[in-house]
Amino acid sequence: MTIKGVNGVVGFVDLSSGDVKKIQIPDEVYRDFLGGYGLGVWFLYTHMKPRVDPLGPGNILGIISGLLNASNIPMTGRSMAVGKSPLTGGWGDSNAGGRFGPKLLEAGLDAIFVTGVADKPVYILINNGDIHIEPATDLWGKTTGETEDELRSRYKGAQVVSIGPAGERLQLIAAIINERGRAYGRSGLGAVMGSKKLKAIVAVGDKKPEIHDRDLLRQKIKEMLDALRTTRAKAYEIWHKYGTISTLDTSVLSGDTPIKNWAGIGVRDYGTKNLELFGTNTVIKDNVKPYGCASCPVACGAWIRRQTRYGLVENGHRLEYETASLFGPALLNADQDSVVYAGELCNMYGLDTISTANVVGFAFELYEKGILTEKDVGFPLKWGDPDTVVKLVELIGKAEGIGKILGQGVKRAAELIGKGAEQYAMHVSGQELPAHHPQFLPGLAITYTGDPTPGRHTAGGVHWWGEGGKRLWAPFDIGVDLGASPKYDYADKGRKAAIIAMSTQVENSLGFCQFASQVIYRTLPYIDLIYAVTGIKYTPQELLRVGHRIHTLRQLFNVREGVNPARDFRLPKRVLEPFPEGPLANVKLTEEDVERMRAQYWETLGWDPATGYPRRKTVEELGLAEIASDVLAILPP
């Protein structure tokens, strides 16, 4: 192997047979797909049979480190979980911070992939290149925090990913957790892990892969750190103090935060008085100590301690924007005790906070409409009632009572409840929507309906990269001047979103935190950094092509699994209904507008604008024809 910075090896464990393999990955796979979910989608497409049950033995769950995670480059260190999503039935991925990704590399693997189903609960131990399946009956039923504490006491210096009771009980909105709250939250992959009776994965090791050019790497790291003290000092200061919670107040008042299950208006229904009770400045009062993920000098997170009336939250994570906004203002809830405790329950039970808070709001509205009754729930539900928020999260985490239904996500819960509940389920193809409104940032409509994992605000597009500002940018110098993207000028938005999406595939596969480029640094020297770590030299066009290849194979996975993007990836009608008042009252964003932007997005990617299927010509040009030979016949020319 000539590529540096990686081990060149992944683990592949079959829990049904007990078979454990270490697979050598060819250099060209890293050149073509990098790490992260680039490596992940290559492995799943080439090793997993089509049309498997997401919760059956045939699904493959992967945890993959970013390509640059052995380098200590600031704001790298992120890793990806991948698998077939039980929520959407197609490609599933989720990105997490923390320290598991770099530790996985130090443990001797670039990724761990798991198939099959164990007879009894197990965990996987990766120790300096050795892989073992260990019994976990004693850990089954424990929270993620309890599991992590126990396993780290057994293995000095270990990093752990685990599921809680929600994943064990196959709640489809279950998450995988590391560092007591750094979540692989989206796509329902915690349920996939639970279906395999896999409680945890433990990484132990101290062998970092060799770096290609340490002098160049030191130079580039110094330049990045110097920027934090000079040109990017203000952005660093804000992000270090507040993290993602910095936008809570402005998002509520601007209309960005969806209120009352996407039917309310922030300034009218929540307002400034409630933000004084629960808002950006109240959240940071719980801070005990700032912390950063691996290789991150920004330290945008914080450990907190809060004695709530529901119980003590100690060594908990400070609320992130999504958790705070969706358990708080979105539910008309200004009670900080309940929001903090609900967030902690999600981390301990192993639940995606975005999906969980959405399903609580869904239940509130069903109760308000008379579709759910006190007999169904066990207690009355009311907007703004903090106690019912906590009660519902506990029931969802334990899969008890109405919580067992709600934990399947809004789409399946609506199908189970019936009585017209479907019209109040806010999702795209089964994935609940984040706390960002397309009428505030219309570029979101493209990624919510056009990305291979729908309903995701972190999918690359103009909304993160300067929409409404003087000019757009991308994570690295792509050699293209994108100009500006005025918020409500839809003419060229899809094309620009597609170009940025290709560059974001690179960012995710390298292991960079998205906030590094979006907020702190903006454009970063990816080409120099990749060369310094791995020895691989790209031009901007070649690296963008890598992102295009990754993006396209993710969509080909959907095609193979029978997903129809044009039919299945659609915004709920309510999301596009005009607001009668408030800051978005004059916005006009129609279904036709969204379809035109999405069609342009797909066309720019070389995908059929009518179906979202990649064109055969595009697949061949990207060198994917052999990998995706099983779907070539059904692709448009």
Q: What is the pLDDT of residues 350-405, one digit of tens each?
A: 999 999 999 999 999 999 999 999 999 999 999 999 999 999 999 999 999 999 99
Edge-to-edge strand order for the sheet containing 122-127? 130-135, 122-127, 198-204, 159-162, 176-178, 182-184
Reply yes or no on whether the pLDDT at 409 is more than 80. yes
Buried b (16+ CB within 10 A) or exposed e, 369-396: eebbeeeebeeebebbbbebbbbbbbbb
CB atoms within 10 A of CB 27: 15
Residues 352 and 167 sit within 8 Å (Cβ to Cβ): no
Buried b (16+ CB within 10 A) or exposed e, 540-575: beebbbbbbbbbbbbbbbbbbbebebbebbbbbeeb
CATH 1.10.569.10 location in the chain: 244-432
Give the pLDDT of residue 508.
97
Per residue in 136-175, pLDDT (tens digit) is 999 999 999 999 999 999 999 999 999 999 999 999 999 9
What is the CA angle 64-511-204, rounded to 5? 50
CA distances from 274 to 262, 333, 334 (A): 18, 8, 6
39 Cβ contact partners less than 8 Å away, ≥ 6 residues apart = 10, 25, 29, 30, 33, 64, 67, 110, 111, 509
Reply yes or no on whether the pLDDT at 1 is more than 80. no
Distance CA 219, CA 18 (A): 46
Per residue in 37-59, pLDDT (tens digit) is 999 999 999 999 999 999 999 99
Tokens 């035109």 belong to residue? 596
Of residues 509, 507, 531, the one with CA closest to residue 43: 509
CATH 1.10.599.10 location in the chain: 443-634
Pairing of strands 301-308, 311-317: antiparallel
Give the pLDDT of residue 521.
84
Per residue in 555-605, pLDDT (tens digit) is 999 999 999 999 999 999 999 999 999 999 999 999 999 999 999 999 999
What is the CA angle 491-495-501, rounded to 5? 135
Mean pLDDT of the region 298-321: 97
Distance CA 258, CA 254 (A): 10
Mean pLDDT of the region 518-528: 89
149 Cβ contact partners less than 8 Å away, ≥ 6 residues apart = none
Confidence of residue 335 (pLDDT cuts 50, 70, 90): very high
Per residue in 451-486, pLDDT (tens digit) is 999 999 998 899 989 999 999 999 999 999 999 999
Higher pLDDT, 516 or 434: 434
pLDDT above 70: percentage of residues in the chain = 100
Residues 494 and 600 sit within 8 Å (Cβ to Cβ): yes
Buried b (16+ CB within 10 A) or exposed e, 494-519: bbbbbbbbbbbbbbbbbbbbbbbbbb
HSE-up of residue 485 (Cα within 13 Å, Cβ side): 28
Of residues 474, 590, 519, the one with CA closest to residue 234: 519
Of residues 112, 114, 113, 119, the one with CA closest to residue 140: 119
Confidence of residue 263 (pLDDT cuts 50, 70, 90): very high
- Give the containing element (helix H, strand E) for 240: helix 233-242
Identify the architecture of domain 9-204 in CATH. Answer: 4-Layer Sandwich (3.60)
Q: Which two tokens stand for residue 486?
A: 């005025």
Give the pLDDT of residue 517.
72
Residues 25 and 58 sit within 8 Å (Cβ to Cβ): no
State the fold for domain 443-634.
1.10.599
Per DSSP, the three-state class of 277 is: helix
Give the pLDDT of residue 628.
99
For CA atoms 504, 506, 511, 516, give the dihedral sign.
Answer: negative
Give the pLDDT of residue 519.
80
Mean pLDDT of the region 75-85: 98
Mean pLDDT of the chain: 97
587 Cβ contact partners less than 8 Å away, ≥ 6 residues apart = 439, 488, 578, 579
Residues 178 and 98 sit within 8 Å (Cβ to Cβ): yes
Confidence of residue 61 (pLDDT cuts 50, 70, 90): very high
CATH 3.60.9.10 location in the chain: 9-204
53 Cβ contact partners less than 8 Å away, ≥ 6 residues apart = 59
Q: Which two tokens stand for residue 91?
A: 């490609």
Of residues 260, 315, 323, the one with CA closest to residue 286: 315
Per residue in 103-128, pLDDT (tens digit) is 999 999 999 999 999 999 999 999 99
Confidence of residue 498 (pLDDT cuts 50, 70, 90): very high
Residues 277 and 354 sit within 8 Å (Cβ to Cβ): no
Identify the architecture of domain 244-432 in CATH. Answer: Orthogonal Bundle (1.10)
Question: pTM for the whole thing?
Answer: 0.98
Q: Please classify residue 471 by burial: count the beta carbons closer than 10 Å to its beta carbon, then call 0-12 exposed, 13-18 middle and 19+ buried.
A: exposed
Range of weakest confidence among 6-20, 228-242, 384-398, 524-538:
228-242
